[in-house]
Structure 1
Amino acid sequence: MTSSTVTSSQPDRPPRPNLAFRRLRGPRSPAEFAALVRRAAREIGERVSCDARYVGRVEAGEIRCPNYAYERVFLHMFPGRTLTDLGFVPRSSVRGRAARTAVAAPRGPAPGETAGEPHGAAEPYDPRDPWQNDHPNHANHPNHEESDVLRRAFMTGGGATVAAATLAPLGLAPAAAAADRPPRRAGAPEAMALEEAVRRIRLLDDRHGADGLYRRAAAPLRAAYALLDAGATRQTTADRLHAGAGELAISVGWLAHDSGRFDDARSHYAEALATARMTGDAGLEAHAFCNTAFLARDAGRPREAVRAAQAAQRAARPLGSDRLLSLLALREAGGWAGLADRTGCERALARAQALFERGRADADPEWMSFYGEAELAGLEAQCWSALGDWRRASRQARRAAQAQDPHFTRNIALYTAELADDLAREGRPDEAAEAGLRVLALLDQVQSSRIQGMLAGTARVLLPHRRASGVAEFLDRHASYKGPRPVRDGGPV
């Protein structure tokens, strides 16, 4: 495990809280308000990935002016108001695409600058750029070039090329740790770029699944841990880097998990857990144990799934998030179902439902933006399926597919694949074939070995029912499926 050396420096200059925006949120939680923002965006044809963390950053004053997509959404939500009325500063005062020619190599701070901070200002970024329209923090990033490079590098190239292209402008490239020159200590821009990388991976996975992303995301993870060895300019930055590296390890582990690379996933989750234990980060520890439980269940180790889920709950109890505890209870339920312990499973499911009904809270982790009614129903469906109760499983899977936010394309495909399999095993082949065809229609957008494996299992169950309505069409289309097209940043190509 890596370490970080921190040197004392001047404290970060605190941003000015956006009290006007906080008043507009009213009694809603940040997660509930973020859902309203996403809904408003859909009403006007915009696409934003707003979550509780973004709302919190706006209210804390970290985002002084939203990008153009968010501006249109906010003005749609609050007609008659200007950005200034919403507590933002004029766009002309926000740092822009500064000195692009100077980004090619790291430099020392200019007179009056703090190490690790950007310099200069320019005009606002191009609103036609699909990365910017889809990315909540791009316009407010300390260095726009960093986000541009992250966008290109995550979705093109491979191996060392990705690591260098993604991280070199930030001083994070593996070469920076070469023995012939000392590495540059990380500052706020590097920490923010790492946090943005985690969000971007999650966003792409939500839409396209894991298979096309895993190998491309592993290189930035290696470089992120190399950065920790180089040290940071401040303790607060070091804490952010450790948390970001741990969350990135979990995200990359999930990509491995969802694409069937269970040994790789286990290693990444263990790395995240070690980082959490080293820094005393209870939230990261709960997240790492949560994913470890999920992996253990899928890998056929249900008793380990129960133990990991229980460990996650112990870590999470002081955090104040009922929704997190609800999800962890579902992870435990999945383990009990794998052990064929119906009583243990039902108790954990009841606890998960009761905790869920307590509602959202400011303490809910950012990574839990996917967890709502749909995920609750989907995970319950998986429990009933493991117990062989196909009727309950299909009912919950249908509920999950119908309730899912359209933003989460992968989850819609997952729940519908679960529904198809449950219906097939329940003895309703015509409905199973109909659901299976809907999944096939989504596979040009989603790359997930998990979903493809589920669909293959459904096809095997339906083979004896070829004469049922729609089954032959599903079987033929499934047999002719050649796999998804390659995915780039904007979607399938």
Structure 2
Amino acid sequence: MASSTVTPPRPNRPPRPNLAFRQLRGQRSPAEFAALVRRAAREIGERVSCDARYIGRVEAGEIRCPNYAYERVFLHMFPGRTLTDLGFAPRASVRGRGARTAEDTPCEHIMSPAHTSGEAGEVDETPGAYEPYDTQDPYHTHHNNEESDVLRRAFMTCGGATVAAASLGPLGLPLPHSRLRTSGGSPTASTAERRVRRAGASEAGALEEAVRRIRLLDDRHGADGLYRRAAAPLRAAYALLDAGTTRQATADRLHSGAGELAISVGWLAHDSGRFDDARSHYAEALATARMTGDQALEAHAFCNTAFLARDAGRPREAVRAAQAAQRVARSLGSSRLMSLLALREAGGWAGLADRAGCEQALARAHALYDRGPSDADPEWMSFYGEAELAGLEAQCWSALGDWTRAARHAGRAADLQDPHFTRNIALYTTELADDLARGGRPDEAAVAGMRVLDLLDQVQSSRIQAMLEGTARVLLPHRRASGVQEFLDRHASAPRSP
């Protein structure tokens, strides 16, 4: 056997926080700053899937030097500054030195060997290395010899929703493999003779990345076509839990990641009209949260359960689930999370035709939102801004039959939405079209409906399609109104999700 060429690890030393970068973020939450990074990337033709966790890792000093895509974005955001001014180490000082512990070493079939600095825990964010969040962005194609094999194989030709769905294939998390003793060249089947590899930090990182990828693809393309693909990473996630790990911190990451992945897959089922599947996935996440005492995960699971119950016509269950989520979330310190949960409760009250209860919950939601963001805001809440607040309020007024107020809030939601969230723009515009149609403004409804049809080549969501079909039925008696017949004809010829 050839001797190892890996440099022995140096004693663990904690990474140095990047105070300069933290100062640049100012009063914005990590999620808000991540949104600014994504927007700046689009301005220069880059695509990075930056999120609150990535910003946190930079500020904690875990990423000593960003990859080239992020470097271009950061220098665009802060002209006249160098990477050193932004608190990063020179690229040459972190290239290819040092190593990680055995448990932290990625499986060779997940990603390429990492480039780490000589100090344990301080990572050079090279494509294919420990930090995968932007380098495997399916909307960004790199053309340098350092890109990861995973990126090259999976995402060089990504385009529409069909290819986005296919891109979940390489996300497949590593199933814990076993080495079998052999007799005469054939592996034996005895369980006692197997040696199962325990899950480590690299598997936990791959699991967390799978959650981010699913959310990113859903934001852009909707759930249809993604749901069945996402089931394989979820099965792998629970196989990792069964394999066990030697470190409690890694076990906690695996449980949290598996729960968040179950919620993400549940949302794909929810948005594609598979309510029973969604309910099962959310229950699985809730059970995982309860077993490990993970209050943040429990609040998230209850939050989605409330949303599903409302959409499935069980408004009283929606109220109860939202209230349970609020009880769990009070200790987490996030006003924005409490605001969203109050909106979930408002949706339940609206479904019960309880206008007073709905208005009280809406008032709480606005008051809590106005307290502003904080570092305690969960990473998964990056979608929750003024647009989502307006969109969810529009749904409440629509359920109460106040079409004028519903249309006003739906239109505001569509106008405010970050272009990154293509699916939500389509959703809010669909809500606007329906509210206008039911409120006796068929010509305006047809215009909004045409905007939705323009987005359906990018977004595949059974939920949106079902809403648009309802709008078309409402508009049928108004064929002679301006633009209505054109909308109906185009809607009738539009492709439907399988």
TM over 0.5: yes
Give the structure 1 partner of residue 119 of structure 2.
Answer: none
Using the TM superposition, give the Cα deviation of residue 18 of structure 1 relative to its aligned residue in structure 2, in angstroms: 1.4
CA offsets 1:355-404 (integer angstroms, 9 cap, x no match): 00111000000000000000000000000111111011101000000000
Give the structure 2 partner of residue 191 of structure 1.
Answer: 204
Write out aligned runs for 1:424-435 (5 A): 424-435=437-448
Structure 1 residue 400 corresponds to structure 2 residue 419? no
Give the structure 2 partner of residue 27 of structure 1.
Answer: 27
User: Higher helix share goes to which structure?
Assistant: 1
Pair 202,162 (structure 1): closer, same or farther in 2 beyond 3 Å: closer
Give the structure 2 partner of residue 70 of structure 1.
Answer: 70
CA distance in 1, matches of 2:275, 2:37: 36
Pair 35,158 (structure 1): closer, same or farther in 2 beyond 3 Å: closer
CA offsets 1:323-355 (integer angstroms, 9 cap, x no match): 000000000000000001010000000000110
Using the TM superposition, give the Cα deviation of residue 13 of structure 1 relative to its aligned residue in structure 2, in angstroms: 5.5
CA distance in 2, matches of 1:178, 1:398: 63
Give the structure 1 partner of residue 283 of structure 2.
Answer: 270
Give the structure 2 partner of residue 411 of structure 1.
Answer: 424
Check whether the contact 1:68–1:133 (CA below 8 A) recurs between aligned residues: no
Using the TM superposition, give the Cα deviation of residue 221 of structure 1 relative to its aligned residue in structure 2, in angstroms: 0.3
Percent of aligned pairs with the same residue? Answer: 77
Which 10-residue stretch deviates more, 377-386 or 183-192? 183-192
Using the TM superposition, give the Cα deviation of residue 175 of structure 1 relative to its aligned residue in structure 2, in angstroms: 10
Q: How many residues align?
A: 456
Using the TM superposition, give the Cα deviation of residue 131 of structure 1 relative to its aligned residue in structure 2, in angstroms: 7.0
Give the structure 2 partner of residue 50 of structure 1.
Answer: 50
| Structure 2 unpaired stretches of 5+ | 1-9, 107-112, 117-123, 181-188
Residue 215 of structure 1 aligns with an amino acid whose one-letter code is R
Using the TM superposition, give the Cα deviation of residue 233 of structure 1 relative to its aligned residue in structure 2, in angstroms: 2.7
Check whether the contact 1:187–1:237 (CA below 8 A) recurs between aligned residues: yes
What secondary structure sits across from 1:405 in the alignment?
Answer: coil
Give the structure 2 partner of residue 82 of structure 1.
Answer: 82
What secondary structure sits across from 2:458 in the alignment?
Answer: coil
Residue 352 of structure 2 aligns with an amino acid whose one-letter code is L
Residue 420 of structure 2 aligns with an amino acid whose one-letter code is H
CA distance in 1, matches of 2:90, 2:190: 43
| Structure 1 unpaired stretches of 5+ | 1-9, 99-109, 487-493
Give the structure 2 partner of residue 7 of structure 1.
Answer: none
What secondary structure sits across from 1:381 in the alignment?
Answer: helix
What secondary structure sits across from 2:196 in the alignment?
Answer: coil
Structure 1 residue 117 corresponds to structure 2 residue 130? no
Pair 448,112 (structure 1): closer, same or farther in 2 beyond 3 Å: closer
CA distance in 2, matches of 1:41, 1:309: 36
Check whether the contact 1:425–1:461 (CA below 8 A) recurs between aligned residues: yes
Residue 341 of structure 2 aligns with an amino acid whose one-letter code is L
Write out aligned runs for 1:236-251 (5 A): 236-251=249-264
Structure 1 residue 302 corresponds to structure 2 residue 305? no
Check whether the contact 2:104–2:201 (CA below 8 A) recurs between aligned residues: yes
What secondary structure sits across from 1:22 in the alignment?
Answer: helix
CA offsets 1:427-479 (integer angstroms, 9 cap, x no match): 00000000000000000000000000000000000000000000000000000
Structure 1 residue 467 corresponds to structure 2 residue 480? yes
Check whether the contact 1:302–1:335 (CA below 8 A) recurs between aligned residues: yes
Calculate the aligned-residue CA RMSD, in Å. Answer: 3.4
Structure 1 residue 218 corresponds to structure 2 residue 199? no
TM-score calculated relative to the size of structure 2: 0.84
Pick the aligned partner of 2:273 from 248, 255, 260: 260
Give the structure 2 partner of residue 5 of structure 1.
Answer: none
CA distance in 2, matches of 1:50, 1:329: 27
CA distance in 1, matches of 2:194, 2:400: 59
Give the structure 2 partner of residue 4 of structure 1.
Answer: none
Structure 1 residue 41 corresponds to structure 2 residue 54? no
Residue 233 of structure 2 aligns with an amino acid whose one-letter code is P
CA distance in 2, matches of 1:465, 1:404: 30
Write out aligned runs for 1:69-468 (5 A): 69-92=69-92, 94=94, 113-118=101-106, 121=115, 125=127, 132=135, 134=137, 144-145=148-149, 166-167=171-172, 170-172=174-176, 179=191, 181-468=194-481
Using the TM superposition, give the Cα deviation of residue 68 of structure 1 relative to its aligned residue in structure 2, in angstroms: 2.0
CA distance in 2, matches of 1:445, 1:178: 49
What secondary structure sits across from 2:304 in the alignment?
Answer: helix
Give the structure 2 partner of residue 104 of structure 1.
Answer: none
Residue 15 of structure 2 aligns with an amino acid whose one-letter code is P
Pair 146,189 (structure 1): closer, same or farther in 2 beyond 3 Å: farther
CA distance in 2, matches of 1:230, 1:382: 44
What secondary structure sits across from 1:132 in the alignment?
Answer: coil
Pair 449,11 (structure 1): closer, same or farther in 2 beyond 3 Å: farther
Pair 79,361 (structure 1): closer, same or farther in 2 beyond 3 Å: same
CA distance in 1, matches of 2:163, 2:461: 19
Residue 344 of structure 2 aligns with an amino acid whose one-letter code is R
CA distance in 2, matches of 1:40, 1:448: 28
Using the TM superposition, give the Cα deviation of residue 186 of structure 1 relative to its aligned residue in structure 2, in angstroms: 1.1
Using the TM superposition, give the Cα deviation of residue 30 of structure 1 relative to its aligned residue in structure 2, in angstroms: 1.9
